[in-house]
Amino acid sequence: MEEQKNVFEPSEITPCPAIMNIQRIRNFCPDEFNYGEQIVSYEELDIYDCNYDKIEELFEDSVRLEIDRIIKVYNPYLKKSFELKRHLHYGNIQPTRLFHGTKENYVQSICEFNFNWRYFGRERGHRYGKGVYFTSSPSFASFFCDKGTTKKVMILADVLVKNKCRGNENLVVPPLGYDTAIAETDDGSVYVKFEDNEFYPAYIIHCIRI
């Protein structure tokens, strides 16, 4: 059997180049967010929270994964940038909820600065395009988390998906009129995104592989 290539890791290491200052964030973000030096904050979901239930439903077919904790991410800068991109280029379509498997020590950077498609292929390759990889399958995403432990950490992201084309390893940007490359595998659907602010890290999910 061909060895699995990690298509989820490359984009997480370095922040995106343009970070808006705190005063500008204050001007257009909800008051309940933390606007101190730390512009991202976290809230662990109660197991009785309706959002916990909705996320748990996404794991129904993942028989070897058990949710341990779900943490909601609040980053007003990333959220506003995402919503602006959606409004301007996607006609306010509803985001698609997709998983991104990663190493635990990359999670903080992702939540602060978002996924960075510029670092495609630095670790394991880019089989379906030179961008940020997501999947509809939490089990598939778990293969790209830390090795040698049953504890897995992945991110559930809101992703803007409108017009899809077939992905390939030479794809740098989608053809005109398309915004997302996709591939169907035995383990689940893979989505590749190529531009900033078309994704938002909504939740950190701690799982146990059983």
**pLDDT tens column, 41-81:** 999 999 999 999 999 999 988 878 999 999 999 999 999 99
- Whether the predicted model's global pTM rises above the 0.75 cut: yes
Which of the two residues, 12 and 168, has the higher pLDDT score?
168
**How high does pLDDT run on average in the chain?**
83
- Cα 13 to Cα 148: distance, rounded to the nearest angstrom: 21
* 37 pLDDT higher than 80: no
Give me the pLDDT at residue 92, please: 78
Average pLDDT score over residue span 29-35: 41
- Cα 111 to Cα 142: distance, rounded to the nearest angstrom: 18
What domains can you pick out in the chain, each with its CATH number? 22-209 (3.90.228.10)
- Cα 190 to Cα 182: distance, rounded to the nearest angstrom: 5
Residues 160-189 pLDDT 10s: 999 999 999 889 899 999 999 999 988 889
Average pLDDT score over residue span 83-102: 94
* 28 pLDDT higher than 50: no
Which 3-state string (H, E, C) describes the chain?
A: CCCCCCCCCCCCCCCCCCCCCHHHHHHHCCCCCCCCCCCCEEEECCCCCHHHHHHHHCCCCCCCEEEEEEEEEECHHHHHHHHHHHHHHCCCCCCEEEEEECCHHHHHHHHHHCCCHHHCCCCCCCCCCCCEEEECCHHHHHCCCCCCCCEEEEEEEEECCCCEEECCCCCCCCCCCCCEEEEEECCEEEEEECCCCCEEEEEEEEEEEC
* 31 pLDDT higher than 60: no
CB 62 within 8 Å of CB 125:
no
pLDDT band at 119 (very low <50, low <70, confident <90, very high): low
